[in-house]
Structure 1
Amino acid sequence: MENLDFSIVAPYQSILLTGLYWTLLLAITSAFFSFVLGISFALIVLYAPKLIKIPVEGFMWLFMGTPLLLQLFLIYYGLVQIGIDIPALGSGIIGLSLHFAVYNADILRAGIVAIDPGQVEGSRSIGFGRYQSIRYIVLPQAIRNTLPAMGNNMIFLLKDTSLVSVIGIAELVHGAQLAISETYSPFEFYIAVAAIYYLLNLMIILGLKFLEIRVEASR
């Protein structure tokens, strides 16, 4: 450790801050879409006609059964061959969003199934339609009950933003690699990036704890 010189990190802080910006942009945008799509997929699997349900289940199975890195390659490099040219940032957001949406959907589906059917029957008895029962009774409870698990997915999503460097997005790890290529000091920059990821994860954990406390207080 005595050979480490962290003073060399400071001159490259602009590169790391740029990487942090793209990491946060990817993580926040993908987290939002993965949450919205996760709800949509879960509701389709549980309530949609088979004509819609079966293709979505196949799509979810495909994304669960293949690694995120391969999915990013297929979206960014593969779709070009059939005339669909998506920029690197768009490819990264699409890949991360879809990859984690299927896991959020699986978690949320289990949360919906766990809701007492009597609550739905009770809501129908007071005049709620099927859509209203799902929207106002089932879905809020399922989201509340599965919040910790989906929050863990957001932590995994943040860490997996590092994979988008393979398609040319200058996120944190990519920025560190640029600095390392000039300084030949990998340990200092990788430790600095690891510390940044740790702080970001800590912020997410604290945010989730706050949400859980608020949710428990509202019960």
Structure 2
Amino acid sequence: MPHWLQLMLESLPTLLWAALIFTVPLTLLSFALGLIAGLVTALIRLFGPKPLVALVRFYVWIFRGTPLLVQLFLIFYGLPSVGILLDAFPAALIGFTLNIGAYTSEIIRAVIGSVPKGQWEASYSIGMTWNQAMRRTILPQAGRVAVPPLSNTFISLVKDTSLAAAITVPEMFQAAQRIVATTYEPLILYVEAAALYLALSSVLSALQARLEVRLNRYGGFLEANA
């Protein structure tokens, strides 16, 4: 067996374990919390009072305009200087959540704004309140449009979690770095890590495509029976 293949097979369980214990949970938690933050931010941008609108616009401006790696460093290495100490995983979770929240807020704001005003008027005409119209009419329509860009954001987040290695989160990429430190085979290990990220992204892209097809069929069915 070639040396490079033997090394890949020996290191594969370690990399997969790191992905299962750290990469996947970090991705899922960050995206779920970021999606909630993005929805709240988008609703404030669209319907909130001016002081809150200015506050969330500033938040979005900061987190979309600065590198994610810098944000992680500020949270993990910077906050201790003002007395706020965070372990690596919570610091990464906060950083990714705030970053994802800023990006998803723009997506959600755009798709809510794309729903025709007639949908609001139709909802009000049958006696719905603002909350009912938003929950039953606007968000379901906006959600179908938001799936492709949100899916792309999720797939990007899977790859971006490798940045957590810089603040000592023992996720998949840092697991590869640790093996490199003992084997002195950076090319083999980093290629293997890249292949695993590529495989995961490919699976998620295939699932995204299937979901979009289903949503398009469902949307066509609704339009045909409207």
Q: TM-score range by the shorter chain?
A: over 0.9
Q: What is the CA distance between 1:13 and its match in structure 2?
A: 2.9
| CA distance in structure 2 between the aligned counterparts of 1:170 and 1:98, rounded to whole angstroms | 21
- Which residue number in structure 2 is paired with residue 135 of structure 1? 135
Per-residue deviation at 1:10? 2.4
For residues 173-212 of structure 1, the aligned pairs below 5 Å read 173-212=173-212
Cα distance, 1:4 vs structure 2: 6.4
SS at match of 2:52: helix
Distance in 2 (alpha carbons) for counterparts of 1:132 and 1:80: 44
Query: Which range is displaced more, 99-108 or 209-218?
Result: 209-218
Q: Which residue of structure 2 lines up, in the alignment, with residue 62 of structure 1?
A: 62
Counterpart residue number, 1:5: 4
Letter in 2 for 1:154: F
Q: What's the CA shift for 1:205?
A: 0.9
Question: Counterpart of 1:169 in 2: which secondary structure?
Answer: coil
- TM-score, length basis structure 1: 0.94
Letter in 2 for 1:35: L
Aligned residue number for residue 224 of structure 2: none
SS at 2:84 equivalent: coil
Please state whether the residue corresponding to 1:127 is helix, strand or coil: coil
Structure 2: 5+ residue stretches without partners: 220-226
Report the count of equivalent residues: 217
Alpha-carbon distance in structure 2 between the residues aligned to 1:152 and 1:4: 37
Partner of 2:170: 170
| Distance (whole Å) between structure 2 residues aligned to residue 37 and residue 208 of structure 1 | 22
Q: Quick one: distance in 2 between partners of 1:188 and 1:124? A: 61
CA contact (8 A) 1:18 1:175 kept: no
1:12 Cα deviation (Å)? Answer: 2.5
Given residue 146 of structure 1, which amino acid in structure 2 is its aligned partner?
A
- The TM-score with structure 2 as length reference comes to 0.91
Cα contact 1:19–1:170 (8 A) shared by 2: yes
The residue number in structure 2 matching 1:147 is 147
Using the TM superposition, give the Cα deviation of residue 106 of structure 1 relative to its aligned residue in structure 2, in angstroms. Answer: 0.4
RMSD value over aligned CA atoms? 1.4
Q: Aligned equivalents of 1:99 and 1:118: distance in 2?
A: 33
Q: Which residue of 2 aligns with 1:122?
A: 122
Post-superposition Cα deviations, 1:69-112, rounded to whole Å, max 9, x if no partner, equal: 11001111222222222211011111111111111110111111
Counterpart-to-counterpart distance in 1, 2:3 and 2:150: 38
- Residues in 1 aligned to 2:3 and 2:112: alpha-carbon distance in whole angstroms: 52
Partner SS, residue 128 of structure 2: coil
What is the aligned partner in structure 1 of residue 53 from structure 2?
53
Deviations 1:23-51 (A, max 9, x none): 11111111111212111111111011112
Task: State the match for 2:96 in structure 1.
Answer: 96
